Amino acid sequence: MSKIYLLLTVLFISFSAQSQEIGIKHYQRKIDTFDFVFPTEPFSPKGLLIVLPDSLYSFGDIQIKKANFPFFSAKNCSIHFESDTVKTVQFSIVGKKNIARYTAFLKSRIPNFSNQLPPNTIPIEVIVKLSEEAQFTYSYRKEGRKTWVTLTSK
């Protein structure tokens, strides 16, 4: 009889654990990566120092103090993902050259990026189409020397 109770308890715990969502909060000081993720793209923990496999997590927040991408560098990066899809990317850029490199990167990755922005307005908040089915809100504002960029999916 005790074996039956033990078996039922184990089955109940396994079913309840399987139905729960598991999230992660991760902080990393520095990352050098070749991949910049846009909202609506799949989340990949490549380059992050995460010990447990990423298949365990259904949502999470990743904080990176300094991120070096091939075209530009960013500080105070924040990535939020849900169900293996990036929902929000936020970071700051310092320096005119770095901002120019970031803008050139966006023009190379997003078709008709220049045509989708309003001319000479700061702060900017506009919906940008990454592809036919993927679009996100692009927000750009200046605070002192820093330029904050927020990309949010719908």
Domain ranges of the chain: 22-153
By CB atoms closer than 10 A (0-12, 13-18, 19+), residue 30 is exposed
User: Where would I find the H helices in the chain?
Assistant: 2-19, 96-109, 113-116
Residues of the chain where predicted confidence (pLDDT) is lower than 70: 1-20, 51-55, 118-123
The CA distance from 105 to 93, in Å, is 13
pLDDT the model gives residue 91: 93
By CB atoms closer than 10 A (0-12, 13-18, 19+), residue 81 is buried
Confirm if 42 and 83 have CB atoms less than 8 A apart.
no
Can you tell me whether residue 3 is helix, strand or coil? helix
The CA distance from 55 to 96, in Å, is 39
Half-sphere exposure of 84 (CA within 13 A, CB side): 6
Confirm if 69 and 109 have CB atoms less than 8 A apart.
no
pLDDT the model gives residue 7: 60
Residue 27 tokens, joined: 């902080």
Q: CA of 8: how far to CAs of 16, 43, 131, in Å?
A: 12, 36, 49
The CA distance from 19 to 15, in Å, is 6
pLDDT the model gives residue 77: 92
pLDDT the model gives residue 61: 92
pLDDT the model gives residue 66: 93
